[in-house]
Amino acid sequence: MTEPMLTFFNWFTKITGFPFFLIAFKTKVFYQNRKVQGRRIRGKALVVTNHKAIYDFAVWMFVFFTRTLRCIVAEVTYDLNAVLHALLKMWGAIRVDRHDNDFDFMWKSIDILKKGGVVEIFPESRIPEKDEPTPLEFKPSYVYIALRSDAPIIPVFTDGCYFSKKRSHVMIGTPIYASELYDESLGERENIEAINSFVRSRIIELGEELEKRKKAR
């Protein structure tokens, strides 16, 4: 799909779907530092978020309303049915097969970022099961993408409270620059593990801060 068509379909979805978004999610947005990073994303960025439900993608699509988010989507969702497959394709989703050694999704993401786009990824790789401690361990592919594209990582957290009487809440963190965390005295694998751990810890902190903000209201 061409970029103009992709942009048109995303805007069409956001405009027509906004009333549904308000009713279904009723999202309240908090910020680690709004002056540094608000809902408007300038330039290329890699949005990294915890994963609560299949609807997470829709939440971030509307939270970051002014940008087209190219979401990395697992094969089980991308190929669930023909209608969803077509929609995800028109939204510009990037398919990844978690059971294959094909890293094409990484190169597609890097290319999008180098052209100034925004890519979204759920590094937990799946939705946690009921009563499973969260967040799950993060897969490190997004760190490689950030380093190769030199795109800032925007960490975000959602409480996943959708389709209920309660409001859903999200927390937007300040950008993380993977290249600034890279330690030349360490090997690549050690650096990837360290950066991955740092980002996961930051997202956990965002979740803890979000709970404090919710209680304080």
Q: Residue 102: pLDDT above 80?
A: no
pLDDT at 150: 97
Residue 43 CB neighbour total at 10 angstroms:
11
- Distance, in Å, from the CA atom of 5 to the CA atom of 3, rounded to the nearest integer, reads 5
For the entire predicted model, the pTM comes to 0.94
**Residue 46 in contact with residue 154, Cβ under 8 Å?**
yes
Q: Average model confidence (pLDDT) for the chain? A: 94
How confident is the model over 65-70, as a mean pLDDT?
96
pLDDT tens across 115-171, in order? Answer: 999 999 999 999 999 889 999 999 999 999 999 999 999 999 999 999 888 899 999
Domain count for the chain, please give it: 1
Structure tokens at 215: 């209680």
CATH of the domain at 68: 3.40.1130.10
The range of the structural domain enclosing residue 59 comes to: 3-216
pLDDT at 72: 96
Radius of gyration of the chain (CA): 17
